[in-house]
Amino acid sequence: MTAISEGMPREAGRLGKFSWALFDWANQPYFTVVTTFIFAPYFTSFVASTPAEGQAYWGYTQAIAGALIAILSPVFGSIADAGGARKPWIVFFSSLCAIGAFSLWWAAPGMESGIFWILAGIIVGTIGVEFSIVFNNAMLPSLVPAERMGRLSGFGWGLGYIGGLIALFIVLLGFSLPEVPLFGLSKVTHEPDRITGPMAAIWLIVFIIPMLLFTPDRPANDLPKSAAVRQGLKSLMTTLRSLKNYRNIIFFLIARMFYNDGILALIGFSGIYAAGLFNWGTTELGIFGILINFFAIAGCFIGGYLDDRLGSKPTIVISVLGLAFASVGVLSISDGQVLFGLPAAMPVEEGALFASPAEMVFMVFAFIMGLFFGPAQAASRTLIARMAPPEKAGEFFGLFALSGKATAFVAPLMIGIVTSATGQQRPAMIVIFILLMIGAALMSFVREPAHK
């Protein structure tokens, strides 16, 4: 039985499927160069008054965006499930993301007025890209039979990794490393950092064009949007009520909420913490991001082997504990000290890249973080596939996606509160460690079905 329903394309052609997968390539640079490795650390270190204030502001923006995404995702997901055309919604939300990302160009160093407009741009951009992903993902069942969805989805995921790496290389080789950056950008006013917003916006708009042209979409229907929302929410409530019969899955989804929040926060705030601690600029952060991505790709291959050999649950627990260990390692580093007290020299001006002992220790823990990030996420997806009843696979995958969004604002909010209360960046890493450990502990209540 396939997932292709009556009235939908039997199967998209190769160009249509490739163009759909290219959407991951199109949106990934926003996450890579804007919200993780380049613009976010720049904002916290140079736009805000202090790194601690900047980290707090960034935590609040991600919390607000995450809360709105969690509240509205079921609504927009229900519209997608109602069977209407998805491309108009993708165009709308991608345009919203592009507008928000492009506005980041005006995030000047030390700006006193207008900073809340920049924060609004970050929120708008993040909401736009996340909702565009919701509708693009909803196109997948109409493109290939169910037995081949994994391959197409994985191909898109891989393209996304590559797109993010290429975007980082462009930032480094085109804007950061040259004495005179492309387009004559000024390093004094941090234009190479600020250009990442417009760059991600243009990249997104250009590379969604093939999907709009070549990927088949569902035909528009006459169902009013309000009716689609009611129908989708009714289906969601039915699924939620039925969860009482699937306690094992409930334990897993709750555990995932905790460790997934910790994972996303660790990736998002580790670069921000390093930028504030070591005074890293675009070059250091870009290379840091590239190295992390290479280790993450390697971790995915290793994690896939462990998943098949040991099972999804052990792979998740090992990965989450590995990430918790990495977070403690990062937490152990402060100004002039590593491992909670050992003296370690900090970087000096004009020093070699990552040459100081403190930076070297940080990079070791960052590589550990990269190795375990991919396996934790990939094995989670495998586990829900093994646990969900075949006749309810679609519903439980939808609930799995919702569980990743519902509490996505918690970690950034807690980090923002802790940073504001202490006036320091370092204590916020404790929040990440606690979330990871709670998630790992809750996994002990999950029973993985036999799959061999």
Shared fold status for 11-240 and 246-452 = yes
Residue 4: predicted pLDDT: 43
Look at the chain and count its residues.
452
pLDDT of residue 332: 81
Q: Is 321 helix (H, G, I), strand (E, B) or coil?
A: helix
pLDDT the model gives residue 6 = 43
Range scoring the smallest mean pLDDT among 11-25, 227-241, 313-327: 227-241
> What is the percentage of the chain residues whose pLDDT exceeds 90?
21
Tokens, residue 244: 């009482």
pLDDT score for 438 = 93
Angle, nearest 10°, between helix axes 115-138 and 51-81? 30
Tokens 């380049």 sit on residue: 38
Q: Measure the CA–CA gap between 272 and 340, rounded to whole angstroms.
A: 20
Sequence ranges of the domains in the chain = 11-240, 246-452
Q: Who contacts 356 (Cβ-Cβ below 8 Å, separation ≥6)?
A: 278, 344, 345, 346, 347, 348
Checking if the pLDDT of 8 tops 60, the result is no
Lowest mean pLDDT among 18-22, 143-147, 175-179: 143-147
CATH numeric code, 246-452: 1.20.1250.20
The three-state secondary structure class of 342 is strand
Share of the chain above pLDDT 70, in %: 80
Q: Fill in the DSSP letter of residue 177.
A: S
CA distance 356 to 274: 13
Q: Are residues 135 and 86 in contact, defined by beta-carbon separation less than 8 angstroms?
A: yes
DSSP readout, 59-91? HHHHHHHHHHHHHHHHHHHHHHHTT--SHHHHH
Q: What's the CATH superfamily of 11-240?
A: MFS general substrate transporter like domains (1.20.1250.20)
Q: Is the Cα dihedral 4, 6, 8, 10 positive or negative?
A: positive
What's the mean pLDDT in 383-398? 62
Closest CA to 404 of 238, 255, 271: 255
Q: Which of 179, 6, 11, 191 is nearest to 104 (CA)?
A: 191
Instruction: Average the pLDDT over each of 81-95, 113-127, 131-145 and give the range with the smallest value.
Output: 131-145
Query: Strand, helix or coil at 36?
Result: coil
The segment with the largest mean pLDDT, out of 294-303, 355-364, 396-405, is: 355-364
- Bigger pLDDT: 395 or 178? 178
